[in-house]
Structure 1
Amino acid sequence: MIRLAIAFLVLGTAVAWSDPGPVASDWYQGFNNKARLLAGTATRNGDPGLYAGVEVTMPEGWKTYWRSPGDAGGVPPEFDWQGSDNLASATVLFTAPHRMHDKAGDVVGYKNGVVFPVAVKPVDPSKPVMLHGKIAYGVCKDICIPAEAELQLVIPPDVGTSEELTNVLARVPVALPRPRIDPTLAGWRLDQNNGKPKLVLNVETAELATADTFVEAPGGVFVPLPKRVTDASGKAVFEVDLTDGVDIKDLKGKPLTVTMIDGKGQSETTITLE
């Protein structure tokens, strides 16, 4: 009888401490892509929280775009959470993108598939969140096709841990770079010699071969993609031509987001052209 009681105690403890697991919606099938929502408790920068993810998969060779699509243009994703219930806020994050060469020029985004993580804040954490999203994005191979998905997922208050979302969040650029892992902005300057202004960025990186940089302005103001011009003592040097489709007056005094990636990590920082 004592052994039986112990067995029931152990079993009851295992059930009480079992993780109910993450949740996911059905796939929404589109043309040459499909999308779904997933959700769970995940960890970012050591802090646990409630996260969802918009997962888009595409056939081999297809791509979709980052929030800033690049010089050749493209369709940045848009997210509408109206119609959700018990949702105070849903903040979309973006994993580190990649530069890709297109017939029309360079674009920035993701090949074959991507998960856009979403930080979810309930109005009442003790109740389920009914997450309803209308997602618009572009999928491209030889041509670009606008895509839309309407997705819905109920997230219980005791939703379990999502290792997948934790891994996705590890690829979101950080404001506080990890020493000797994430690339960092070692220095920058605005060069206005000969009346041809350019922004020069010195990116310190442990992976020179894979280092890349992107610059964004607020309000949808176009900023050309940085071009890598040289490498010097552990730094990749990039230049942004501020005469190429942009008026420098539209950028001065505004915060510019600099996103840096390489084969080991990613980070982002803000600079202001005075």
Structure 2
Amino acid sequence: MAKAPPVAISLGMIRALTLALAATLGLFQATQAPAQSPDLVQADLRPGWRLADGSHMAALHLRLAPGWKTYWRTPGDAGIPPVFNWSGSRNTAHVDVLWPAPHVFRQSGMRSVGYSRELVLPLRITPSAKGGPIELHTEMDLGICSDICVPQTLRISASLPASGRPDPVIASALASAPFSESEAGVGQVRCTITPDRKGLRLRAEIDMPRAGSTEDAVIESGQPGVWVKEPATHRSGGTLVAETKLRHLEGKPLMVDRSRLRITVLGSDHAVDIKGCNS
């Protein structure tokens, strides 16, 4: 596995950053503590609106300092995965994080996957009781990286409005999500899994139109404790081929459920989200 990037602050200092997230009309309450790196990221919570099915659409809006980036749910070998803790929320049965299509970054021969400049991260919140007030409390751990990485912790406390108009900024972020298989014209997805000395090898052959002049694949195992190496990706006519290795982080025997594999193709024109293999 690749070595983690150097950390600019000690672990004892990571928790020192608490950003205040506020919105208009006094609907949102948060606290702010002294920050070690206050200029690297500015964060707001976009309050959003209630949907017809009773769920609520909101979003985190992160603005990054020039030259800095943060990471997607699968950050690549050189990134820091974001972690969310929604405990303490009220009337919140579930929170779905709806990721916009990320970008691929390459530095010092390593690949990372994430966002630069800003990230609007939509949140679809399913309440326990429809129509009631929603209190959202979360703690988000994330990495903000340039030549070095600075772990940050954002803490949010918010009372979400019971109505509200659709937010075009959130709508734009939702529209930038990867295409589904049907939207992108994906055909057969063939996955061949073979053993090797330390785990498994995976070769995925995906019949699909080009997603752009350059294409990268990100493969998620769908299983905890399984590390997936950055795939080698190439084209063979109308088929995209991605090959990688899978390892269990604790060295345990490894079996892969093809139906739980998730392959995201990141192209220069658009991204495609592929769930499971046909064979």
**Fold match by TM threshold 0.5:** yes
For 1:193 and 1:128, how far apart are their aligned partners in 2? 52
Is structure 2 residue 218 aligned with structure 1 residue 210? no
- What is the CA-CA distance between 1:169 and the residue it aligns to? 1.5
Contact 1:214 1:258 in 2 (8 A): yes
**Equivalent position amino acid for 1:237 in 2:** V
**Equivalent position amino acid for 1:141 in 2:** S
Higher strand fraction (1 or 2): 1
Contact 1:184 1:204 in 2 (8 A): yes
For residue 52 of structure 1, the aligned residue among 55, 58, 79 is 58
**Equivalent position amino acid for 1:151 in 2:** I
- Residue 87 of structure 1 aligns to a residue in which SS? coil
Equivalent residues in 2 for 1:91-130, closer than 5 Å: 91-103=96-108, 105-130=110-135
Partner of 2:192: 190
- Residue 172 of structure 2 aligns to a residue in which SS? helix
- What is the CA-CA distance between 1:174 and the residue it aligns to? 5.1
Partner of 1:139: 144
Q: Report the count of equivalent residues.
A: 246
For 1:236 and 1:66, how far apart are their aligned partners in 2? 22
Contact 2:178 2:270 in 1 (8 A): no
Contact 1:171 1:266 in 2 (8 A): no
Structure 1 range deviating more: 130-139 or 99-108: 99-108
- What is the CA-CA distance between 1:119 and the residue it aligns to? 1.0
Partner of 1:88: 93
Partner of 1:269: 275
Partner of 1:3: none
What is the aligned-residue RMSD (CA, Å)?
3.6
**Given the superposition, is the C-alpha separation of residues 174 and 41 from structure 1 closer, same or farther in structure 2, using an over 3 Å criterion?**
farther
Contact 1:200 1:239 in 2 (8 A): yes
Equivalent residues in 2 for 1:228-243, closer than 5 Å: 228-229=233-234, 231-242=235-246
For residue 48 of structure 2, the aligned residue among 25, 40, 43 is 40
For 1:227 and 1:48, how far apart are their aligned partners in 2? 43
Partner of 2:15: none
Contact 1:42 1:163 in 2 (8 A): no
* Alpha-carbon displacement from aligned partner over 1:67-106 (angstroms, at most 9, x marks no partner): 222123x321111122222222212222222221122611
Structure 1 range deviating more: 76-85 or 133-142: 76-85
Is structure 2 residue 70 aligned with structure 1 residue 64? yes
**Equivalent position amino acid for 1:84 in 2:** S
For 1:209 and 1:244, how far apart are their aligned partners in 2? 34
* Alpha-carbon displacement from aligned partner over 1:185-210 (angstroms, at most 9, x marks no partner): 64323164998844133351343413
For 1:52 and 1:81, how far apart are their aligned partners in 2? 14
**Equivalent position amino acid for 2:186 in 1:** T
Higher helix fraction (1 or 2): 1
**Equivalent position amino acid for 2:106 in 1:** H
- Residue 177 of structure 1 aligns to a residue in which SS? helix
Please, what TM-score do these two structures have when normalized by structure 1?
Answer: 0.74
**Equivalent position amino acid for 2:157 in 1:** Q
For 2:117 and 2:203, how far apart are their aligned partners in 1? 32
**Given the superposition, is the C-alpha separation of residues 90 and 194 from structure 1 closer, same or farther in structure 2, using an over 3 Å criterion?**
closer
**Equivalent position amino acid for 1:58 in 2:** L
Contact 2:228 2:247 in 1 (8 A): no
**Given the superposition, is the C-alpha separation of residues 122 and 102 from structure 1 closer, same or farther in structure 2, using an over 3 Å criterion?**
same
**Given the superposition, is the C-alpha separation of residues 126 and 209 from structure 1 closer, same or farther in structure 2, using an over 3 Å criterion?**
same
For 1:187 and 1:24, how far apart are their aligned partners in 2? 46
**Equivalent position amino acid for 1:232 in 2:** S
Partner of 1:172: 177
- What is the CA-CA distance between 1:171 and the residue it aligns to? 2.5
- Residue 182 of structure 2 aligns to a residue in which SS? coil
Structure 1 range deviating more: 27-36 or 231-240: 27-36
- What is the CA-CA distance between 1:26 and the residue it aligns to? 7.7
